[in-house]
Structure 1
Amino acid sequence: MMADLGSRLFQRSDALASFTTRWRARFARDNPALPLAGPTIYQLWAYDATWAVALAVQKAGKLDRSFTGPPRSSNISNDLAQLGVSRSGPKFLNSILGAQFRGLAGDFKLVDGQLQSSAFEIVNVVGKGGGRTVGFWSPTAKITKTLNNGSDSGLKTVIWPGDLKEVPKGWEIPTNGKKLKIGVPIKDGFNQFVDVKTDKDTGRVTVTGYCIDVFEAVIKALPYSVTYEYMPFPDDSYDVLVSQVYYQVFDAVVGDTTIIANRSLYVDFTLPYTESGVSMIVPVKEDKSKNTWIFLKPLTTDLWLASLAFFFFTGFVVWVIEHRINMEFRGPPSQQMGTIFYFAFSTLVFAHKERLESNLSRFAVIIWVFVVLILTSSYTASLTSMLTVQQLQPAVTDLSELIKNGDHIGYQDGSFVLGLLKQQLKFEENKLKNYSSLDEYAEALALGSKNGGVAAMFDEIPYLKLFLSEHCQDYTMVGRTYKTDGFGFVFPRGSPLVSDVSRAILNVTEGDIMAEIEKKWFGDQTTCPSDTSSVTSSSLNFRSFGGLFLITGFPYRRKSKNGLGTMILKISVLTLSRITPPVLTMGARLTAIILSEMLQRPRLM
């Protein structure tokens, strides 16, 4: 036996040693032709049982030697039934059941008519060298390292098959005592997924990475033990690596191996353990909005023109109300025109110095100042946003645009994505370039298609997310996602491990272990601003302030008997009812009305 665990009755005593010596001497004398053998546990039990009967007779004292006759029955079919029943039987039976003594096989005690062992010795059998005691079991102390020591619970170190000190989980699938040969790819880039390193001095191979950690976590989650060893595979082609399982070079393949239809014809895949899909990343270009005329961008053209028109409009309304009763609004036409413009624009910074006499004009100015306050606050906020928020737009948004422009496309070296680009997406092979690392991706995208690089990079989503986690400000993921089944582990067709490993993958991915592994290798992949199609700060339009301008024009409806208030209201409604009219024409008409009104009224000195 190799590294087995068993138990035996603990029976070491001087009496047993003496009995064994006498037994062997008698056995050798009576059976000279047979090999020498010691007493077995059954022979010791028989010896102790004889002693129990003798002690019971001694304890019972004087017994009635008479017997009662056998029961009368017509169904008596054997001689044993013809025996009588001792009148001292019950007394003798009680003496036997109550017997307790230290026998050769241990403490002799009957409980419910059954012999109870005093202690078992737990033995670890290692090789052919015999067994080593690792603990004891007794009815009182249970399992302990030393006999009759309840505080020293547990077992000593147990050596399991394979010279292992860890408790095995058992094994349900025969492996003929061999370790599983696990093929792993040797990669030049994307070492976060699989990284194979060889010590130059010792030649020892170390395999690490996201896929490796997931595989080892899955193996630990199996209900039995699986021993394995990693075997690096230098070929760049994943199809060739997968075929090694089909040709029985490897027992399995662990790595960033994508589940695709043509591979499943020759091998079995487990359930996927990563996000699936193929997409593309492209550079983002900055919207050069920080120019000389950036201060005009917070408001749209119609809002700018409408605001200017209402500045003149408000000044004109105040002049109409005040110039007959207020000396500050009198004088030559040119002076009155200047007063109108100056008063209107001074309200922009609340610095108008003209004193108003009419309550109606004061009310009009109060409303207009409120409009100006809202307008300037919104303008300031919008301009601040434009000056501080970077404007990002993807350089390419659609696959057809790449094909139309004849741009070069990049993909990961050795990936099945090459076949996807050629067969499904119909790219010409001379337009495709292969790259092996994140740095090569970034360099090729930075150069662009016209300068020896590429316009877009196609790859599986796990790789693209890893790339964007390091270059999120310069690149973004765009376009549709082409369906794939993600990464899976490879086993031979019909392997009984596939179903068990798949169930273990579900247990790992649904728990916290997967999140810890992802954080270890990829960090906290937070959402990057470039993940959205654009980051913009939209201009304010005329409709945003239509209600304010309507409020400004409405109070002047009843100003005068000559219809001036009606004219003002009509101008306001006209302006609001046409959000995209020729506002400039409306402004020109309003200016003409102001000049006509001033020229028709008598000069007041």
Structure 2
Amino acid sequence: MENLQKCLILLFLWGPLKAKELIPIGVILDLNSQIGSMANSCISMALHDFYQKNSDYKTRLDLRTRDSNNDIIKAASAAFDLIKNEKVHAIIGPQRSGEARFIIELGRKAKVPIISFSATSPSLSPTLNHFFIRTAQDDCSQVKAIASVIEAYGWREVIPIYEDTEYGNGLMPYLNEALEEIDTRVPHRVVIDPHSNETEIFYELKRLKNKLGKQLRTKIFVVHMTSDQGSKLFSAADKAQMISEGYAWIVTEGLSAVLEPVENPIVLDSMQGVLGVRPMVPQGFEKFEKRWKAFTGQESTKSPLTLFGLWAYDTFWALAMAVEKAGITNSAFQNQNATNNISWYDSGSRLLNQILSTEFPGISGYFNLSEGQLVPSKLEIFNLVGHRERIIGYWNKERGLSRDLVADEKSFSERKLKQPIWPGDTTEKPTKLRIGVPVKRGFKEFMKVERQSSNNDIVKISGFAIDVFLEVVKVLPFRLPYEFVPFMNKSTGEAAGSYDELKFDVVVGDVTIVANRTKYVDFALPYSESGISMVVLTKRNDRQNMWIFLKPLSWDLWLTTGAAFVLTNFIVWLLEHPTNTDFHGSREQQLGTIMWFSFSTLVFAQKEKIVNNWSRLVLIIWIFVVLIITQSYTASLASMLTVQRLQPAFMDIEEIKRNNYYVGYQRDSFVEDMLKETLGFNDSSKLRAYESPEEFDQALSTGSDNGGVAAIFDEIPYLNVFLTKYGSRYKMVGPTYKTDGFSFAFPRNSPLVSYFSRAILNVTEDKDIFSGIKNKYFSSGISSGDQSASITSDITSLTVYSFAGLLLITAVAFLLSLVCYLFSFLYSEWHALRTIPSEQRSFWSMLNQIAKHYDQKDSSLHPPTRSNSRVYPAASPQP
């Protein structure tokens, strides 16, 4: 049929060709492939259409077609033959990227333009290969669109599947870079041997499916393959039951450009729900397709029309126009410059430049080459449903994704695409996250799972952690499909294991960040502060103690203060007695005056007059000391009468361990390990596990000696909830052992961690939202992380050391006054002692003489300052 078709074309053009210059042009295609066969017919149709419209052209392209038969060596050999023997001025092809690399080198040496409409690998750069022209869009032009689709649906991990060829490998660096920009990981990749049959591909996919169940979590695949291998892949995937609910497949241009719903029903049946990205199909495609089918002479062909055929058609038109405008003739080859049996083509550069500057409205769109390849146009995203392709959106570099040709302004990029039908004939987006929810018997303010009845249907999952999660999901930059999965035994309704046994895509609950868990999971930032402390029973109310008034001062301070009182009055009496009648009288009266004066200064009620200046100095210091002590005593007593009623029974962990008391903790909590490893409770028999605030209350009330415990160790959020209910009887005491708070747990290296961390910050910093959640579950106002009700130290009595500095100043003042007064007194008595005969001057006689004079009234030392003074002068010394 094709030979008959060519004969008809030659007969049609025979008359005009007699006067035209025939320009040999090489064509290298795999004529046994769908694309090669289809493209060859499109080039023949272009030959007919172009010269029918441009009959006045002086040149005619004479096509010399060669079959590469999907063999690189045959393709290179055909190119060598066309350049050396056929003296072609340009070569259209080759079809595959792997063949193009060798043929491009031949074209560079011979200065023959190599024009490919299907070698789309980015590794073949026209800017680096001077005589290479790509009349198709580079594969890397679609990676941004693929990344936008992945980002729109919130997929954080994808698995590329590609063939191990120049075409398959060439795209991967660009795809990886685009995925990195949207923080999407590639945890695994599948490379298919280009010679693999369907059975080998099936077993490769089975191995992949095995990993999905054990190591990998994502079921999102990006397929970059040619149509021949791609059809085998999807047939094998369908047999492996991977074209089903929960999976998503995105195909690149290599497959999406060759889909023809009517012509390939068997392949399409295994591709239901697949998404594809490809250059936008021109509006006149259907009309051209009908013409093409009529031209080929059959309405149903095994080689359906694709974008590659349109590009091949436009390639011939561009080359035919360039040859005419460049004035190419058959005499252009110069054999005298032959090297390695290849003739140099002296007009090659001229033809190359003419092709690059050619622009016209083509069948595939506006033909315009930039940097040696077709300028990327708008891309379309389609969804394969039944035997139809349904366009669900568009993408261009300026506006990104849009539902229609004009971009909308929806807040979520996913809404810029119409609702696709996913594999498994469902509208539910694949990779719905399984959110693990711990099941607790107590402390349901944090996590509560309710069952409808014995049929195990879950009615409601609620709690503080759940509400925080729901608010966090709202501020994520993408929609996140999820389902809550309670970690429970369906028959009993109890927890199916400990927190460390939770294995889900995300764990949402009162999960604390601890170092040991970070070996197996990654945590987002905490959404509540935490820490570990202990709660104990409070003591009897100290306000009922009849001796509480003694507690503000320690016993040593009481004794020191009393001694200071006596010492002060004695010094004042010693200084005032010689000259002040208020300090005279019988011994009993003087002793009473000493005691009375000392304690009357406590309330500043002393009536005795002070006439000695040294006494006044002593009293100034002493009254200041009395003021400080009384004010401190009053403050300390007031504190004890108000705060000390909260005094706990135990303050020291060491006391609990020393007395071998029992302690409690929350069941299935990491606190048990901390009690053993960090706090030194080595005897496991002394540890008792409880599950609810009610059990905490009963254990603490019973006491360690009666089957209960002396203290409960737990995380502060739980203890705050417990104190909310039973705070009048218990207190949180002792040091706080730091932990990093509650958070959401993810599998190691999950790409969701950073997104959740940022979203948690947004929620916790919004006081209205976060406070509303806390007030909903913690009505008393004590929220997670609130430690205001705890006390960390006992209210102790004031000691001597508390006033050591003040007492030191007092002692110095007292000593200075006493020494100065005695020095003055002894000086005044010196003349009286000299009158004593020398033979009578003994120590005791002199001391007795001083005592007699001291006990007499003596106004000479301190004369009265007022006329009515009751101080009388002492008698004159006897001669």
Give TM class, smaller chain: 0.5 to 0.7
Q: CA 1:116 to 1:130, structure 2 compared with 1: closer, same or farther past 3 Å? A: same
Secondary structure of 2:367's aligned partner: strand
* Residue-by-residue CA offset, 1:347-405 (whole Å, 9 max, x unaligned): 4455556555x5xx134223313321232233222322222242355424677976897
Q: State the shift of 1:298 in Å.
A: 4.1
Alignment equivalent of 2:616, drawn from 359, 365, 375: 365
Structure-2 residue corresponding to 1:71: 335
Q: Is 1:48 the counterpart of 2:309 in the alignment?
A: no
Q: What is the aligned counterpart of 2:748 among 499, 503, 524?
A: 499
Q: Using the alignment, how far apart are the partners of 2:317 and 2:702 within structure 1? A: 100
Q: TM-score, normalised by structure 2?
A: 0.47
Choose from 278, 291, 300 the match for 1:7: 278
SS in 2 for 1:7: strand
- Matched residue SS, 1:538: coil
Letter of the structure 2 residue corresponding to residue 7 of structure 1: R
2:536, 2:733 within 8 Å by CA — same for their partners in 1? yes
Determine the structure 1 residue equivalent to 2:439.
186
Identity percentage over the alignment? 26
Counterpart of 2:625?
A: 374
How far is 1:199 from its partner? Answer: 5.4
Provide the residue aligned with 1:549 in structure 2: 811
Distance (whole Å) between structure 2 residues aligned to residue 559 and residue 139 of structure 1: 102
Question: 1:238-257 to 2 correspondence within 5 Å?
Answer: 241=497
2:386 maps to which of 128, 136, 153: 128
| Equivalence for 1:101 | 360
SS of residue matched to 2:449: strand
Task: Check conservation: 1:157, 1:165, Cα contact below 8 A.
Answer: no
Q: Provide closer, same or farther for how the CA distance between residues 43 and 601 of structure 1 changes in structure 2, counting only shifts above 3 A.
A: closer
Contact between 2:578 and 2:856, CA under 8 Å: does it hold in 1?
no
Is residue 525 from structure 1 mapped to residue 781 from structure 2 by the alignment?
no
Deviations 1:172-227 (A, max 9, x none): xxxxx897584x44322122443213457994443345666899989x99x99996
Tell me how far apart the structure 1 counterparts of residues 328 and 592 of structure 2 sit (CA, whole Å). Answer: 148
Within 1, Cα distance between the matches of 2:451 and 2:630?
Answer: 63
Superimposed CA distance per residue, residues 270-318 of structure 1 (whole angstroms, 9 cap, x where no aligned partner): 3789999987532232572675555444443322321331343144134
Pair 1:116–1:196, CA change in 2 (3 A): same
Alpha carbons of structure 1 residues 98 and 259: separation in structure 2 relative to 1, 3 Å: closer
Could you say which residue in structure 1 is the equivalent of 2:293? 24
In 2, distance between residues paired with 1:401 and 1:152? 64
Give the residue type in structure 1 aligned to 2:537. P
1:212-227 matches, within 5 Å, as none
1:316 to 560, 564, 573: 573
1: CA distance, partners of 2:509 / 2:386: 42
CA contact (8 A) 1:245 1:253 kept: no
Match of 1:442 in 2: 697
The answer as to whether partners of 2:575 and 2:821 remain within 8 angstroms in 1 is no
* Residues 135, 146 of structure 1: 8 Å contact kept: yes
Q: Give the Cα–Cα distance (whole angstroms) in 2 for the partners of residues 561 and 231 of structure 1.
A: 93
Unaligned runs of 5+ in 2: 1-270, 775-781, 828-847, 859-870, 873-879
Say whether the 8 Å CA contact 2:310–2:364 is kept in structure 1. yes
Match of 2:536 in 1: 282
Q: Supply the distance in 2 between the matched residues of 1:561 and 1:255 (Cα, whole angstroms).
A: 83
CA drift at 1:551: 0.9
Secondary structure, counterpart of 1:109 in structure 2: strand
Q: Deviations over 1:48-105 (max 9, x none)?
A: 3443455557767xx6968356231465636xx49x867xx87776655443222211
Decide whether the 8 Å contact of 1:179 with 1:228 is kept in 2. Answer: yes
Separation in 2 of the partners of 1:307 and 1:208? 67
Letter of the 1:125 partner, please give it.
N
CA contact (8 A) 1:333 1:599 kept: no
Determine if the alignment matches structure 1 residue 233 to structure 2 residue 488.
Answer: yes
Q: Give the superposition deviation at 1:12.
A: 0.6
Q: Distance in 1 between matches of 2:758 and 2:311?
A: 56
After superposition, residues 147-166 of structure 1 pair within 5 angstroms as 147=405, 156-159=416-419, 161=422
| Structure-1 separation of matches of 2:379 and 2:591 | 117
- 2:532–2:715: 8 Å Cα contact kept in structure 1? yes
Q: 2:136: which partner in 1?
A: none
Which of the pair has the greater relative contact order for Cα pairs under 8 Å at 6+ separation? 1
- Contact persistence 2:447–2:461 (CA under 8 A): yes
| Counterparts in 2 of 1:37 and 1:412: CA distance versus 1, 3 Å | closer
**Amino acid in the other structure paired with 1:230:** V
Q: For structure 1, which runs of at least 5 residues remain unmatched after alignment?
A: 169-176, 491-496, 566-592
Q: Distance in 1 between matches of 2:692 and 2:609?
A: 74
SS of 2:617's partner is helix
Contact persistence 2:505–2:747 (CA under 8 A): no
C-alpha offsets along residues 546-595 of structure 1, whole Å, 9 cap, x if unaligned? 43133124212243579789xxxxxxxxxxxxxxxxxxxxxxxxxxx9xx
- Number of positions where the alignment pairs a residue of Structure 1 with one of Structure 2: 527
Contact preservation (8 Å) 2:565, 2:599: no
Given that 2:380 and 2:391 are in contact with CA atoms closer than 8 Å, whether structure 1 keeps it comes out as: yes
2:446 is equivalent to residue 197 of structure 1? no
For the residue of structure 2 that corresponds to 1:313, the secondary structure is helix
Q: For residues 533-572 of structure 1, what are the structure 2 equivalents within 5 Å?
A: 533-540=793-800, 543=804, 545-560=807-822
For 1:529 and 1:139, the matched residues in 2 are separated by 58
Deviation, structure 1 residue 111: 2.9
Aligned equivalents of 1:530 and 1:462: distance in 2? 10
**In the TM superposition, what whole-angstrom CA distance separates every residue of 1:142-189 from its partner, at most 9, and x where no partner exists?**
7665547799997822546476788x8xxxxxxxx897584x443221
**Alpha-carbon separation, structure 2, partners of 1:231 and 1:370:** 74
- Judged with a 3 Å threshold, the aligned counterparts in structure 2 of structure 1 residues 128 and 442 are, in CA distance, closer, same or farther, namely same
RMSD: 5.9
Shift of the 362–164 alpha-carbon distance from structure 1 to 2, 3 Å rule, reads: farther
Give the structure-1-normalised TM-score.
0.64
Residue 207 of structure 1 pairs with residue 461 of structure 2? yes
Counterpart contact for 1:276–1:484, Cα < 8 Å: yes
- Give the SS at the match of 1:559: helix
Cα 1:77–1:462 shift into 2, 3 Å:
same
Q: Distance in 2 between matches of 1:402 and 1:74?
A: 101
Task: Give runs of aligned pairs for residues 432-511 of structure 1, distance below 5 A.
Answer: 435-448=690-703, 454-461=708-715, 465-466=719-720, 470=724, 474-477=730-733, 498-500=747-749, 504=753, 508=757
What letter is aligned with 1:67? S
- 1:467/1:231 CA distance change after superposition, 3 Å: closer
1:395 and 2:654 are equivalent in the alignment: no
- Cα deviations across residues 470-516 of structure 1 (Å, max 9, x unaligned)? 467732445998x99999999xxxxxx85335994999599848977
2:521 corresponds to 1:270: yes
User: Matches of 1:257 and 1:351 in 2, distance apart?
Assistant: 66
